Structure formats: structure tokens, C-alpha cells
Amino acid sequence: MTLKNARVGDTVKVLRVEGEGPIRRRIMDLGITKGVEIYVRKVAPLGDPFELTVRGYELSVRKDDAKMVLVEKVSLGANEKGEKKNVD
């Protein structure tokens, strides 16, 4: 899955950053690199962009850019299936 599909409250682990050029470089420069855990904090009122917690700080990323980040779920958000649940 990609970061775009993550839900609010999810914690995901980055597998790879796809794409190329400046956007990809920028995403990585801001700390979204292989192996890092990302917590999806909230979504803007109109559904885009996301607000993430990466490496202890908050970052807004558009869904279009989030598509470039391949992730796997570490834990699901509390709002999914009613409670927190560990997947791995």
C-alpha cells in the first residue's frame, strides 16, 4: 500500500520512496526514509492534505505526494474497527 491509503490514527512503516527528482528528494530530506515510522495525525477539513508525525515533528503532505511513499501498516487507527489493533 502507499501512504495515501493510510487512515487517520494509523502508524505505518516506510518501505520505499518511489518517483524521482526533486519531489522525491524533498520527501526524503524531510525525514521520510526507508524504515521510519509515520503516524497519521489528521486530515484537513476538505480531505487533503494529511498531517503526519515523522521523527517527532509534524508535517503536512498532499495525498498526491503521499502516493509516492510505499508503506506497510504497523498499527491501525483507533477509529478503524472500533479499537487499536496490532497487525504485525
Partner 1 sequence: MSIKIALVGNPNSGKTTLFNALTGSNQYVGNWPGVTVEKKEGRIKWNKEVILTDLPGIYSLSPYTPEEIVARNYLVEEHPSAIINIVDGTNLERNLYLTTQLFDFGIPMVIAINFMDIVEKRGIKLDLSKLSKSLGCPVIEISALKSKGIKEVALEAISVSSLRDERKKRIFSSAVEGALEKIGEVVASSYIEENELRWLSVKLFERDDEIMAHINLSDDKKAKIEEIISSLEKSYDDDSVEIITSERYDYVTKIVDKRTRGKEKMSVSDKIDKIVTNRFLAIPLFALIMFAVYYIAIGSLGAFLTDFMNDTLFGEWIIPSVTALLEKLEVAPWLVGLIADGAIGGVGAVLGFVPQMLILFLLLSILEDCGYMSRIAFIMDRVFRRFGLSGKSFIPMLIASGCGVPGIMASRTIEQQNDRKITIMTTGFIPCSAKMPIVSFVAGYILGGGWRGALVSTGAYFIGIAAVVCSGIILKKFKAFAGHPSPFVMELPEYHLPAAKNVFKSTFDRGWGFIKRAGTVILIASVLIWIGQNVSLESTSEAELSVNEDGSFVTDGEGNYVSGVHAHLIYGEDGSVVGYEKTEHKGLHFIENGCTSKSVLQVVGECVALAFKPLGFGDSWEASVATILGLVAKEEVVGAIGTMSDGGLETSSEEFFDGSFLKGISFMIFNLLCAPCFAAIGAIKNEMNNRKWTWATLGYMTGLAYAASLVTYQIGILFRWGSFSFWTVVAFVVLAVFLYLLFKPAKFSIIDTCKRIFRKKEKANK
Interacting residue ranges for partner 1, rule: CB under 8 A:
17-31, 33-36, 42, 44-49, 51, 55-62, 64-65, 67-68
CA separation for the pair 36, 13 (Å, rounded): 6
- Please, which residue, 33 or 80, has the CB nearer to partner 1? 33
CB 76, CB 6: distance < 8 Å? no
Q: Rank residues 44 and 87 by Cβ distance to partner 1 and give the closer one.
A: 44
Give the residue with the Cβ less far from partner 1, 15 or 80. 15
Q: Is the four-CA dihedral 11, 42, 55, 64 of positive or negative sign?
A: positive
